[in-house]
Each structure stands twice: as structure tokens, then as C-alpha cells.
Chains A and B, each alone.
Chain A
Amino acid sequence: MSKVNDLTINKKICYHCGDMAEDTTYMLDDRPFCCLGCQTVYQILNENNLGSYYRYNTHPGKSQKVQKEDLSYLDEPNIVAKLVDYQDDEMVIMTFYIPAIHCSSCIWLLEHLYKLHPAVKSSQVDFMKKQASITFDKKGISLKALVQLLHNIGYDPKITLQDVVKEGKKFNQKGLIAKITVAGFCFGNSMMISFPEYFGMAEFERQYAAFFGYMNLAFGILVLLYSASDYFKSAWYSLKQKQLNLDVPLALGIFVLFFRSAFEILTQTGAGFMDTLCSLVFFILIGKWVQQRTYYHISFERDYRSYFPVAVTVLEDGRERPTQIADLKVGDRILVRNNEIVPADAILWKGTASIDFSFVTGESRPIEKVLGEIVYAGGRQVGEAIEMEVVKPVSQSYLTKLWNNENFKVQEKKFDTFVGYISKYFTIGLLCIALSAAVFWLAGGNTERAWAAFTAVLIIACPCALALSSPFTLSAALSIFDKNKLYIKNTAAIEQMAAIDTVVFDKTGTISSPHVSTMHFEGELSTRDKSLIYSLCRNSNHPLSREIIKWLGECTVLPVTDYEEIVGQGQKGRFQNDEIKLGSATFVGTNKSPFEGSVVYIQVNEEIKGCFTLEQSWRKGLSEVVGKLSHCHYDLHLISGDNERRAESLRLIFPVQSELLFNQSPGDKLRRIGQWQQEGNKVCMLGDGLNDAGALREADLGIAVSDDINNFSPGCDAILDGEAFERLPRFFVFSKDAVKVIKMSFVISLMYNVIGLSFAVQGTMSPLFAAILMPISTVTIISFTSLTTRWYARRRKLI
């Protein structure tokens, strides 16, 4: 294995993370690294004999170019107490969420943490949940040091307020699984015991019939009272609210099935249908289980708390003290360092604030604030540390107020699913047929037959197949979406997706990609200037410097002296007699140009040579997506918090009747979506930032577009990986196909019902007939839905 690894090492590719190593300043053991971070990780691992990390996978690491955050809050005992799972005087157990876990090397390394630090007693990784549960000795290593250690080897744990709050949101499926197991156990055994009855027993074997009957009754009671209990509860709630959901006919069927069988067994008048009862409950419970599939590593319920840091530095009598965000009071003096997020609305007191609100407003350029100005929460400070005074508590700030909006108090979005819509009529129809059959036989004076027909109708028409069609279709569709990098919260959201007729896009980060950007240069550069800029930018790790290097291409490297980089401002250096400055307008001392976005000015010997502008490009396939969606008769709109600077090019892409709205506040977006809905449209919103959170919640279907699904994305119904953006029209078509499959399988299950009913109304249904019909209809529905869904997916080129 290691031999193969050695062969595949490319001189230009970082040995740790597999990124392109643009300059080869970082070399160790003849292996290139793209940055100091990657090299350090390699060094640590090699010194501790953990080199096998590189043997299981080629380039297993994650790029280390990210900046680290201030961890001093992990020394505060009251914060630590809320984070850990368990602690006593010596041992601490803590579960970390580590988004970087992605391959077997990660598991190997994290489970060998004890080799890196003796105080780590054990660690266990759950790959699917991307979690590592670490047991460590408190005296040997502090939590802060442990997090630092994880950071050093490239596995930054994500610690957010939502972890601190740790609400019992985790859905527990164990109860359901236990019920399925019991139902399956009873199903198998009662089937076995029922066989003699079906195959016919000789006269002398009749003595066993009563014994088998009582055993069946025991299994039936177990299933009725334990496994099927949820259906009775649900049917009862539904009746109380004067609604008829699908659980009503199901519960009725189970109930009648049990009592007719119990009656037959106890009076020794027949064998009963206990095996059918057990199989019915077993199958519908499996359907329920399939529907409740959840994603472990993706959270759809994130709100501002998971975006904000856990703690902020509060200045008290000249001392710095990390404080939990929730404990922040009005009047507190806070210190916000480079790359930290402003947690509450605050007044700027000291320092140069250059706040990047890109995630809040969609506006991509940093905004400079003057002393005494109010800075809204959610912005990221770029540059030096600033001091501010909190004017509003966290939960009342401009941004978080959005979550106090009524929309966020409603727990679930209510909408009619196909099955929900059908079940009303189904129940009424079922009762009508049962009653008329009973009345018919009663009128003929045949009381026994009337009772037999009435119960048989309720049993045979029990919508078992119907109850299975939608879970199996939708969960098959869910896994196909999942393979195509659209992660949908639950099966109901797919049906909602099929009903959509209006699609609304956000601009920044949604239809434009932060990763695909193009550099423009305004002005003129000589070859020597180019070499100078190239040599200067080589020294910087700033993303803009890297973009400039890419734009310049190959240049001669000149030895630059007196190099200096001022964070958030720019960089300068000297070569021979030329002094060169690169950076913001204030840094080079010029007036701001009309260009917006990120602008880098070039100054050589006090003369402005021009400026670089960085503009985000549209996502790949945007015009095709828009074209196909409008071709499929979707109304398309754009709603952006940004200004109108690129309206012209968007006008060309979007169809004429679309509305393109700019300068919209988060509240405006929410209201506008509401207006469209009142006009009778089913609206799907695609957004990415916190500013879209309200609109995503308000829309019938909120899809968050994210380039890294493990990063923060606002609460939504589905998360779309940016890569899969161009498949969006196909996703919409496929969701419609899925609903079509449900309708087709509904027809099939109705056909089975009609066959069964034709026997049932005559009062001549035998237990054997029921025992065969029930599993056959179930198997037909399950195989039909799964196969047809896959067939449609292939047709839409999704698999």
C-alpha cells in the first residue's frame, strides 16, 4: 500500500492534503507541502510514529490554510461543564463534532490520539455522525489543550452554542425498532402455528386446534397492545381534531381484525386471522421506519446560535474574561479580534472596524465603521482587534430578532400530502361499503353473514398497501437525491417539492459561487511591474494574493526586501529602488474607485498603476438552470440583499416576466415570499446566508445552497451542495415523478382492495385467503415503488 503511495506523489501536490503546492518553499523529507500548516501536521505525526496515517489513503489531510480562533473560553469551568458529556475529579468524556472526518485515515489517527498525548485515555470515532468521543485525564491535559492538539493535527472540532444548549432534539428510533422486532417475532411464530389450519388437519389432530388458537391469541394480544399502540393513539388524536388521517382506517382494521379473531378462537368457531394481524402490523411499522430515515451528519435546524461563537472576550477592569454569549449584558465592553464575529448589536469604541457582512446581508465587501457607530450582530471583523459596547442583548439584536418572528414559533410546516388527502375519502368510502354490506345481509335476515361481511370488509380494505406506497417511494427518492448531493430533511418535503410552481433565488452565494471568482485588472502593467507584484504576493497567504498570482501566471521571482503585511489593509515591500504597495484604497492613499466588491490597488513608487477587482462568477450552468426551469413553466424570481450593480447581466439570464429585487433586508425577503404565497403560488426559496433564514422558513420549500454541507447553513428543508446546482431542474422533475409513482401504486393497492372486497361483502373470506392476499399486496407495492422510482431516476439521469 505504501509503495503505491510513494509512486503517486507528484512533486507539485501537497503530501498532506493533496492541494496544489504553488511554491515549493515547504519541503520536508523530500515531500512537498502547500503550506506551513500541512507541514506541521506531517511533522507532528511523523515524530510520534503515526506515519501510517498516510498509508491508508493518499493525501488524507484537509488543507490547513484556515485561521484558528481564540480558545480561551475553554478554560472557563462553567462553559466546560456545559460542553462535556461526563466529568468527575479525574476523567472527562467529551464528544466532539469534527467536520474534517472523511476517510479511514481520519478514524485511524483520531483513535490513536493516545500516542500523541499520554493523558488521552481513549477515543472512539463515529464516522457517519462525524463525531469523536474522547476520554481524557483532566490533570494531564486541559480541554483547551486537547482542542489545540486536535487543531494542530488538522481536526478542528466545531464547538457552537447549539452544542452548549444541547436540546434533546435527537430523534429516538429505538422504540420503533423494538416494536418492529416484537411484531416480526409474533408474525413468524403465528404464521408457523397457523400452517396446520391452512393445510388441513386430520380428525385426530383437531385436539391441537384449540391450543394453536390460544397461542395465536397470545401473539395477537402482544402485537395489539405493544406494537400497534401508536396507531391507536394517532387515530384517537386525529378523531379528536375532527380529521381523518390514514391511521384511522388502519387502527379500525387492526381493532376489528383482533376482536373477530379473538371471538372465533374463544368460541371455537374458527381459526381467526391472527397471523394476518401480525403481518399487517409488521409491514406498516417497517414502512414507518423507512420513512423516518434521518441524516446524522447534517443538521437542518441550525439557527444563529450555531453560527455565533460560544463565547466572547469581555473587558472588565482592564482584564479579559471569556463570557458565554447568553450571559452577555447591555453595557458590557467586548473585544472582537480579527476574523471573529460580532455577537450582539454594539457601539464601536476603539479600533478600525472593517466588518464583512457577507453572510448577513449578501453584500460582499467589508464595510468600514467609524467610532460611535452601531455595528449589527453577525458581521465578521477583518483587521485589528476592536473594542465595542453591547447595546442590545444577543436575542434582541437586529439579526436574531428574525427568530422571534412568528414563523419560527411554528414547529412544523403543515401541508397536505397525497396520502393525507386520499385517506379522508378512503375512510368514508370504506365505512359506507362495510355498512351497506351489513345492511344487505341483515335485510335478508342473515345476521351471522352480516357480521361476517361487515368485519371482513374492514379487515380486507385495511389500507396497508396504501400506507406503504408513500414511505417506500419517497425514501427511495430520498436516497437518489442524497446520491446527487441534495439532502432533503424528510420524505414529506419531496411531495412539497413536487407542488412547487415558483422558484426564488438569492444572489450572493446562491447563484454566484464564492469559490469561482474572476480577477479583473484596470490599468496597465509592465513586465517588471508584474514580476514585482508576483514576488510580493508570494509572501502572503491572503486569498486575494493567491488570486492575483493566478492571474499573473509565470513571472520571474525578485528578492523583495522590507516586506510587511498589515492584516485587513495590504502589503508592501521594496526591490532595489522600487517601492511597491498593494492593498485597499486607504492603504495606498487614493480615492475609492467606482468599482465595488473586493478591490486591490497597486502602487509602484507613489504612482497608482491600477487596481484588481474580484467578482464572484455565476455558478456553473446558471443560465441552463434558469432556461430549463422557465421552460418547465416555473415562475422565477431573484431577491437579493445586494445592490443592483450586476442587474444588467442578470436581466439577460432571467426571463422577461421574472421580478429581480435588490436591496432587500431579511425582513423584506420574508414578506415578499409571503406575498407570493398569498397570490396562490407554492414558493421554493434558494438561499445561503443568515439573511435568507426568514425567507427559507417562510417558503413552502426552503433549500439552502452550501459549498460545504458541514459548514453553517441556515434552518431549511433541504441542503443543496453547490456542485449539484446545475441538476436543479432535474431534481424538480424527479420529485414530480415520485408523486406520480405514489399515485400509480395507489391504483394498484385499490385493485387488490377491490378483489378482496368482492369476497368480503359476500361474507365468504377465509383466513387463508387473507393470509395470502395481505403479504402479496405488500410485496407488490414495495417492489413496484422501489423499481419504478429507480427507473424514473435513470430516465432523468440521476443514477
Chain B
Amino acid sequence: MNIIFFLIGCSVFIALIFLVAFFWANRTGQHDDTYTPSVRILFDDEVEGEEKEETK
């Protein structure tokens, strides 16, 4: 049953990894702007080609 100590150690360690990951994300400003990236991802890249056809 000593495996319990090991398992609990593992679970707390994994939780700690997520805690540190959150701190890192927060410190590097990943939560500063929670809106703009959701719009930015929808922009198309290849609009230039189409645009030229249209303006003819």
C-alpha cells in the first residue's frame, strides 16, 4: 500500500506543473488581451489574389 504515497506525490507534482504553467502564462501577458486573437485567427491570408480579380 506504500504505492499510495507515490501516487499522491505524483498527483500533487502534476498539479504543481499546471500551477507553474499558469503562472508563466499570466506573467508573459497571455491573458492581457482575451478578445483580439479570436478575431485575428479568422482573417484570410490569400485575399490579395481574389481582390485583384474583383476590382477589374
Contact = CB atoms under 8 A, between A and B. Distances in A.
The yes or no verdict on A and B being binding partners is: yes
Interface of A: 2, 29, 46, 49, 51-52, 55-56, 104, 107-108, 111, 124-129, 174, 177-178, 181-182, 185, 188-189, 192-193, 205, 208, 211, 215
Contacts, number: 61
B22 to A, nearest CB: 6
A104 B19 contact: no
A51 B51 contact: yes
B42 A104 contact: yes
Contacts of A178: 23, 26
Nearest to B9: A215
A211 B5 contact: yes
Contact of A127 (B1, B4, B11, B39): B39
6 smallest A-B Cβ distances: which pairs?
A52-B47, A127-B36, A126-B33, A104-B39, A51-B51, A185-B19
B26 A177 contact: yes
B11 to A, nearest CB: 7
A208 B4 contact: yes
Contact of A185 (B15, B40, B54): B15
A275 to B, nearest CB: 14
Interface of B: 1, 4-5, 8, 11-12, 15-16, 19, 22-23, 26-27, 31-36, 39-40, 42-44, 47-48, 51-52, 54-55
Given A127-B36, A128-B34, A185-B19, 20 more contacts: A2-B54, A46-B55, A51-B51, A51-B55, A104-B39, A104-B42, A104-B43, A107-B36, A111-B40, A124-B36, A126-B32, A126-B33, A126-B36, A127-B39, A128-B35, A129-B33, A174-B26, A174-B27, A192-B11, A215-B8
A51 B54 contact: yes
B15 A189 contact: yes
Given A49-B48, A174-B26, A208-B4, A107 B39 contact: yes
A211 B27 CA distance: 34
Contact of A193 (B8, B35, B39, B55): B8
Nearest to B38: A127
B43 A108 contact: yes
A125 B36 contact: yes
B15 A188 contact: yes
Q: Is the interface of B mostly helix, strand, loop or mixed?
A: helix
Contacts of B5: 211
Contacts of B12: 189, 215
B47 A55 contact: yes
Q: Is the interface of A mostly helix, strand, loop or mixed?
A: helix
Contacts of A215: 8, 12
A189 B11 CA distance: 9
A2 B52 CA distance: 13
B39 A29 contact: no
Given A46-B55, A49-B52, A181 B35 contact: no
Nearest to B23: A178
10 contacts: A56-B43, A107-B39, A111-B40, A127-B39, A178-B26, A181-B26, A189-B11, A189-B15, A192-B11, A215-B8
Contacts of A124: 36
Contacts of B31: 177
Nearest to B5: A211
Given A52-B51, A174-B26, A107 B40 contact: yes
B40 A181 contact: no
Contacts of A104: 39, 42-43
Nearest to A177: B26
Contacts of A193: 8
A174 B22 CA distance: 12
A181 B15 contact: no
Nearest to A127: B36
Nearest to A184: B19
B19 A182 contact: yes
A49 B50 CA distance: 10
Contacts of B23: 178, 181
Contacts of B1: 205
Contacts of B42: 104
Nearest to A107: B39
Contacts of A211: 5
A107 B33 CA distance: 13
A525 B6 CA distance: 97
A751 B27 CA distance: 41
